[in-house]
Amino acid sequence: MIDEMRKTIQSFQETKNLMTLTNHEVLIVYDYVKQKKHFNQHPDENFEPVLKMDPFRVELVPSRAYQAELDKKDKLKNIDTLYNANYILEANLDDFVQSNDERKEAYQMAKTFVDNFEKNKFIKGLYFYGQNRTGKTFLISAVANELSKKGVSIIFAYVPDLVRNIHSGIGDNSIEAKVEQLKYCDLLILDDLGSAKMSLWFRDQIFGSVIQHRLSTGAPIIITSNLELRQLANFLEDDSVSNDKYNAVRIITRIEEMTETVKLSAYRYKK
């Protein structure tokens, strides 16, 4: 029986060089080979056997797929992506391409924000603007990922999805709870502001209210947009309403008070 086990061990690629096993070690390694063959045929299982030596023993560790799932859950435990279609789970600050001075500055601004962030302590947020595919969403996803490790509660919202979701809450009386979350999370990230038209109700009662509250409490915000702030003011204005420019500019003024402006325009980004 032991001799047959030895043959099985030596016929297995990973253990073929284990030639001087004691009978007790043969039993352990043979059991490992059986488990590993089973895992190789069922790679979707959560735990993979690993052979350890000195002394010989079999340990179960998370498989690559399962570990990736665990890592994703751990990363997302502090990031609410309910309103988001663009958040990049794998984004890392060190992977942001710094190919020119503009991108180096954007990276440094993002890194400084992460390094200086403390809960319940005022810090100016960031307003990234520039054309599509310049890495804005990648960069803010990387910021979110870094701060999530520090236990920072984050709402990462793609603005068009946020607008639709808030409007859908009219029928189920969930708007107040959603707005409270936007006001009180440690960090609010709004991606692609200016890509979806807001109703006056949403602009003034929801968006304006959230911005005002976070400004008054010193709660930070990060925003991306294709538009610089002056263009955003024009976008938010409703031409059909008399003197509405004042209302739009008032919101923009608050954003200016809350954020540092960072331009990203010179590189078409694919990550």
HSE toward the beta carbon, residue 111, CA cutoff 13 A? 12
Residue with tokens 């309403």, as numbered in its chain: 241
Torsion of CA 256, 262, 264, 265, to 10 degrees: 60
Q: Where are the alpha helices (DSSP H) in the chain?
A: 2-11, 23-41, 64-76, 101-116, 136-148, 159-168, 175-184, 200-201, 208-217, 229-236, 244-258
Alpha carbons within 13 angstroms on the beta-carbon side of residue 91 total 26
Counting as low any pLDDT under 50, the low residues of the chain are 271
β-bridge pairing 79-80 and 154-158 = parallel
Domains and CATH numbers, the chain: 2-65 (no CATH), 77-263 (3.40.50.300)
Q: From CA 140, how far away is CA 125, in angstroms rounded?
A: 11
pTM of the model: 0.75
Please provide the DSSP assignment of 248-261 as one string: HHHHHHHHHHHEEE
The pLDDT, as a whole number, for residue 268 is 57
The tens digit of pLDDT for each residue in 16-71 reads 999 899 999 989 999 999 999 999 999 888 999 999 988 999 999 988 888 777 77
| Cα(187)–Cα(219) distance, integer angstroms | 7
* 3-class DSSP state of 47: strand
Nearest to 84 by CA among 165, 177, 148, 179: 165
Task: Kindly report the backbone phi and psi dihedral angles of residue 60, in degrees, each rounded to the nearest multiple of 5, phi listed first.
Answer: -100, 125
The two counts, helices (H) then strands (E), for the chain are: 11, 8
> To 5 degrees, how large is the angle CA 153–CA 157–CA 162?
130
Q: What is the pLDDT of residue 271?
A: 45
Tokens of 240: 């059909």
Three-class DSSP category at 189: strand
User: In the sheet where 259-263 sits, what is the strand order?
Assistant: 79-80, 154-158, 187-191, 221-225, 125-129, 259-263
Residue 60 in tokens: 């179960």
Provide the 8-state DSSP code for 203.
Answer: I
User: How much of the chain exceeds pLDDT 70, in percent?
Assistant: 96
pLDDT of residue 120: 87
